[in-house]
Chain A
Amino acid sequence: MAQGTMAQDSQLHRPPVSPRRAMQTVGRALNYVIILALCVLFGFPLFWTAMSSLKTIPEMFAFPPILIPAAPQWANYWTVLNIDYPVGRWFVNSVLIVILTTFGTLITASLVAYSFARFDYRGRDVLFMITLSTMMLPAQVTLIPQFVLFYKLGWVNTHLPLWVPHWFGGGAFAIFLMRQFFLTLPRDLDEAALIDGAGYFRIFWSILLPLCKPVLATLAIITIIASWSDFLGPLIYLNTPEKFTVSVGLQFFNAVPEVGGEPMQHLLMAACVMSMVPIILMFFFGQRFFVQGIVMSGIKG
């Protein structure tokens, strides 16, 4: 539509259409065609999954495949919570782990970053370099000894290995992101508060942290998405279905989609949709913060 009016405008103002102008219009139209094709490429699999989650089992395996179910089975979303697999429990587990992980990361990473950005002490710069270098090492290297550690602590098949480590600084990326932000805040703020008699923790908590809200939002979104989608951790540490998170639960469901001898693939699709929706909604509402965070880490990093 916009394309049409623009083409008309150019014709109104310049009766003889210049070849250059025509080229541009064709170019723009071509851009739209490509973008719409890409929308189908990225959108169709999601649309198909959403539609499958509303099908009956015969529709799920109909040949040739059916795109849109005759009568959408909204009840699938209720039924999936009441099958022999503890699907609802997986969601509760995931939510709890995500909350504990995110709070741990936000609180400890901002404290550590405050220390890196505002205090002078021996070894600080070396410590910061070591922090950055941990980003280079693949997780596989530390995974096995960490497993041994948690095994010896008796934490295997509990949720503790999945969130407790995040209360120890939240990882190099979180600390780096927060530190970069603290460095942009004027140091006069701290010095003024210090002269007024505020302690270091008070300066952190009442003066600097309120200014960090945007970057805290960024870090929260990134942490929530990563923690919600994490697969390797829960796969290694959890082994009874009641303890599973959404990711390992889905994997378990996918491996044996015949619950109690009956095929439940339509419910598997509903569970898949339920695992995606919270994250997608979060992205929609926090998009601004998320994009800033990625860009900050990408361009300044």
Chain B
Amino acid sequence: MAVAETGAPVQRPANGRASLLSRLVGAQTPFQTKRAIWGYVYAAPWILGLIIFWGGPILASFYFGFTEYAVIGSPRFTGLSNYIRAFSGDELFWPSLGRTFTFAGMYIPFAVGGALILAVLLNQKLMGTTVFRTLFFVPHLIPAVALAVLWTFLLAPRVGPVNEFLRAIGISDPPGWLASRDSALASVTMINVWAAMGGNTMLIFLAGLQGVPQELYDAASIDGGGAWAKFRHVTLPMLTPTIFFNVVLAVIGALKVFTTAWVATQGGPSYATWFFALHIYFQAFQYFRLGYGSALAWVLAAILMFFTWVQVRYSRRWVHYEGG
């Protein structure tokens, strides 16, 4: 196409075989045909990858969801029984789903809101912004396992520095954090918020803030707007596309929460942090119920797709696109 447009004469293929091949690859001239074939060659690793690691597994996983399968032997078709069991016969299914939503409900506002506050602070052009930005970002870089390990020690009920601090400021009976059934879920949420606040979400907000035109702030100043008014009526509306993007990512991340809970608490104490992704992991890779695990994975996929769809669908009500 590109060559034809630059004025090169469109050559008719010499024989019928070439024209069939050309039509097959969507080209008109022998030159374009050759070029198209090279296009396929270079895309080949990914085409293979899509088939081997995506397409095949998606079909297989969908099929496994209707079978009983334990790696050894072959899957035995059992119809809808996995799904029926999930919805009505698995006493950990609904609680783990509910817990995951509770986590998401606490995590998303704090992680995204916190990141927005950090970004606005860093955008004040204070001295040392680069240093602060780097320091805020470091928690996000820590491997999730190390993160869970170090917070287990920080939050140790008796010898941990956090409770020591709380006792020092007069709280004589500080919480048991990860070790207690009542506070474990909140503790895992807190750890994840700590690690996420200064991370990618904040960087994306910073980039978004750089895109807010200075004239709007100047106009707001002329109208006598203070800092809060500027934030409320300029920054926030102009940032809605960025907020939307970050919220979508945070929802996806929150519903898949796994590593911190697995390392810090193994889903306990008494199932207090047994999230849905942990439930899938245990069913599939500890009990080797691959069929049931696949069914659970599809439930998670359906939930994620539903939430992404809802967010995109309703984004028009609150997301403001410049010139759109």
Residues of A within 8 A of B (CB): 2, 27-28, 31-32, 34-35, 38-39, 41-43, 45-46, 48-49, 52, 61-65, 67, 108, 111-112, 114-116, 118-124, 127, 130-131, 134, 136-149, 151, 165, 167-169, 175, 187, 191, 200, 204, 225, 228-229, 231-232, 235-236, 246-248, 250-251, 254, 265, 268-269, 272, 275-276, 279-280, 283-284, 287, 291, 294-295, 298-299, 301
| Cβ A140 vs Cβ B256 within 8 A | yes
Q: How distant is A109 from chain B, measured CB to nearest CB, in Å? A: 8
Q: How distant is B123 from chain A, measured CB to nearest CB, in Å? A: 10
Partner of B160, one of A65, A116, A122, A140: A65
Q: How distant is B56 from chain A, measured CB to nearest CB, in Å? A: 7
The tally of CB-CB contacts under 8 A between chains A and B is 275
Bound Cα distance from A283 to B137, whole angstroms: 9
A122: nearest residue on chain B (CB-CB)? B26
Partner of B25, one of A121, A147, A251, A287: A121
| Cβ B145 vs Cβ A251 within 8 A | yes
20 additional A-B residue pairs with CB within 8 Å, beyond A138-B304, A299-B242: A49-B153, A52-B153, A122-B25, A141-B301, A144-B57, A145-B57, A145-B60, A146-B53, A148-B71, A148-B290, A169-B49, A229-B144, A231-B143, A232-B281, A272-B149, A276-B146, A291-B203, A294-B207, A298-B203, A298-B208
Partner of A232, one of B43, B153, B259, B308: B259
| Cβ A31 vs Cβ B126 within 8 A | yes
Partner of A35, one of B1, B132, B252: B132
| Cβ B161 vs Cβ A144 within 8 A | no
A252: nearest residue on chain B (CB-CB)? B145
| Cβ B126 vs Cβ A28 within 8 A | yes
| Cβ A121 vs Cβ B118 within 8 A | no
Known: A65-B160, A137-B58, A251-B263. A120 touches B149 (CB 8 A): no
Bound Cα distance from A175 to B56, whole angstroms: 20
Bitwise interface map of B from 280 to 312 toward A, beta carbon under 8 Å scored 1, else 0: 110011000010011011101100110010000
| Cβ A143 vs Cβ B297 within 8 A | yes
Bitwise interface map of B from 41 to 75 toward A, beta carbon under 8 Å scored 1, else 0: 11101111110111011101100100000010000
Bound Cα distance from A142 to B298, whole angstroms: 10
Partner of B204, one of A45, A119, A204, A298: A298
Task: Enumerate chain A residues within 8 angstroms of B308, measured Cβ to Cβ.
Answer: 136
Interface with A: B30-38, B76-84, B105-113, B179-187, which one? Answer: B30-38
Partner of A272, one of B25, B150, B242: B150
| Cβ A65 vs Cβ B150 within 8 A | no
B267 within 8 A of A: no
B159 within 8 A of A: yes
Partner of B136, one of A31, A38, A130, A299: A38
- Interchain residue pairs A-B with the least CB separation, the first 7: A168-B49, A119-B39, A169-B46, A122-B26, A115-B42, A298-B204, A145-B57
B43: nearest residue on chain A (CB-CB)? A115
B141 within 8 A of A: yes
25 residue pairs of the A-B complex, CB under 8 angstroms, read A31-B126, A35-B121, A39-B132, A42-B194, A64-B164, A108-B46, A112-B45, A119-B35, A121-B25, A121-B35, A121-B36, A138-B252, A141-B297, A148-B60, A200-B42, A229-B144, A231-B259, A232-B281, A269-B150, A275-B146, A276-B146, A294-B204, A294-B207, A295-B203, A299-B204
| Cβ B203 vs Cβ A65 within 8 A | no
B280: nearest residue on chain A (CB-CB)? A140
Q: How distant is B294 from chain A, measured CB to nearest CB, in Å? A: 5
| Cβ A127 vs Cβ B146 within 8 A | no
Task: Enumerate chain B residues within 8 angstroms of A121, measured Cβ to Cβ.
Answer: 25-27, 35-37, 39-40
Bound Cα distance from A165 to B52, whole angstroms: 9
Bound Cα distance from A48 to B163, whole angstroms: 14
| Cβ B2 vs Cβ A187 within 8 A | yes
Q: How distant is A171 from chain B, measured CB to nearest CB, in Å? A: 8
| Cβ A169 vs Cβ B26 within 8 A | no
A282: nearest residue on chain B (CB-CB)? B141
Task: Enumerate chain A residues within 8 angstroms of B143, measured Cβ to Cβ.
Answer: 228-229, 231, 246-247, 250, 275-276, 279
Task: Enumerate chain B residues within 8 angstroms of A146, measured Cβ to Cβ.
Answer: 53, 57
Bound Cα distance from A235 to B280, whole angstroms: 14
| Cβ B35 vs Cβ A120 within 8 A | yes
